Structures are given as structure tokens and as C-alpha cells.
Amino acid sequence: MDIIFMGSPEFSLPSLERLASDEKINVDLVVTQPPRKTGRGQKKTVTPVEKKSAKLNLEVMSFQDVNSPEAFEVLSSRNPDFFVVVAFGQILKRKTLKIPSAAPVNLHASLLPKYRGSSPIQHAVINGDKNSGVTTLIMDEDIDTGDILLKRKVPIDSEDTAGSLHDRLAAEGADLLCETLKGYYQGEIEPSPQNESRASYTPKLTREDGRLNFEKSAEELVDFIRGMNPWPGAYTTFRNKRLKVWKAKSASDLKISDDSGRPGTVIRAGSDDKLQVIAGRGVLQILSLQPEGGQRMQAEDFINGYQPEPGELLGG
């Protein structure tokens, strides 16, 4: 079968590699986002998918608008059986979606209809879910609303971050895509509509979404920190400068008095290398953090270098 693959970031790479290595699948063309200016020097940078396509000797193209007449002419001339879309970054309109003879198929990083949208991986971790997963679906004009083809559940470990879960979902999704394409092409998979009553949406995250709210419980804060790692990163402020928090745990065995201070107050920062902060319920023990302009470090090094005092307020 002939496919046109559409993807851009790191999440797309295992799928692209898996499809390209399958003898029954011909990746006729790869479509990715155009190069973008990044960094302080504003140098143009190509997507991870474009870099990987070059290594795999695959033809790759980019369009500012994949629904443009120019793009339509190119895509339709290839007569693909499938579009395979994995974190591409553009919404395909109806006319474009009708190009493949079999179907436009999307891989989504959640068990749909839960967590439609841009940040399903982060929200699965933030919400303390025990399981996540990947779903293949036939694309329609809306976001992640098409009929479901296959699903695969992936457990979430208590130590998982959004980053570690991202990598496992990307790998599982690659296998699921191959299974989906072959099964659907052979008429072995029947699409099923999504249950709209169970649908939920996740927004596109920004850097500011990582701000810690110490009114939440210590357990909720731990999950939030895991879910924001590595991007956009959980943060607070310390002495009027941004302080990223990379890892923490709940100090559930620690008892505090009512007059210890409000949420965000440091209650312990001493020679035992423990940096503990009052939460809305319980105590948060920060394990790894990064001061503004500095390197990521363990709590011990932060205490020795910055000497936070009990009673100081984070996020104030």
C-alpha cells in the first residue's frame, strides 16, 4: 500500500521509522512543517521528521498551508491509499481529507474520546491517571473526533513524567499504526464512532501554564510537576526570580501546625538536605530544581548555595 506520511516533532519519529521499514508499506512522500526560526540567533531549523526522512532516503516536502491548491495538486498526484498523520501541526480540510483512496488515518496519544486536543500526555500525568494509551482513527474536519479504528492501553508509572510517557506512547503508537493500516486495508477493522458523552479536551500549553499553585495538595503538586516535565516545566518564584521545579515528592508523614504558614511557605531547609514547603494539604518535598539563569540541581546543592530560610515564601 502507498502512504503519504504527515508529521513534525519527535513523537512522529518511531511511526515514520516503523512504517518505512515495513515491506508491505511504501512511504511515497513525507510532509512536514516548514523550517522555523528558533533560538537567540533566529536560525531556521527543520523539523525532526525532515531530518529523519533524509536519513531514511525518503522524499520530504513542506507547505505553509497543506490545504492550498499547490499542496492539493502535489498530494492528489501521488494517488495514496492512506494519509498517515502523526502530530503534523496543521488541520486538514475536507477536500484534502478526501484525497487518499482508503482513508486518512491519525494516531492520537490518548484513549479517545478522553483527552482530545493538544496536550493529552501532560494531562494524563497531571490528573494522576493510572493508564494512558494510543488511538488510531479516521480523520474528519474536527479535532480528534473521527471514528476509532484501534486502541492500545499503556500503564502510567508513579515515577513517569510527561517525557517518559511520551516516549512509550510514541513507540506503542508506531506498532499500532502498522497493525491498523494492514487490518483496515484488508477489511478486518470496522470503524466505530466515539462516545461524545465521554469526550474531554486538552488545550495547547504555554510556559505560563507551568506555574505551581501551592493551594493544591502535595499529591496533586507532585503529579503536576511530573506532567509539566520536560515542557513547559513547573515553576514558582524565589526571591522574585523564576525557580523551576523538576522533581518532588509528598512528605505525607510530616505533621505541621496551623501556624506554620500559608501554602508556599518553606518550613524546612537544613543540613539534612530536605527542602519542604507547605501545600494546601500536606507538605511538598522538592528534590530537583533549577534557579533562573542556573543549572538544574538537587535540593542539597540549592540549600547550600542559596540558603533558603524557613518562613520564606515561594511564589509570593
Cell of 87: 502530530
- Nearest to 224, CA basis, from 207, 211, 215: 211
Q: Which residues of 170-201 are buried (b: 16+ CB within 10 A; e: fewer)?
A: bbbbbebbbbbbeebbeeebeeeebeeeeeee
Q: Is 176 annotated as a binding residue?
A: no
Residue 16 labeled ligand binder: no
Asked if the bond preceding 232 is cis, omega within 30° of 0, the reply is: yes
Within its chain, how far is the Cα of 99 from the centroid?
29
HSE-up (13 A, CA, CB side) for residue 159: 0
Q: Tell me: is residue 112 an annotated ligand-binding position.
A: yes
Is 110 labeled as ligand-binding? yes
Note whether 110 and 116 are within 8 A (CB): yes
Q: Binding site residues for (6S)-5,6,7,8-tetrahydrofolate, as ranges? A: 110-113
Q: Binding site residues, as ranges? A: 110-113
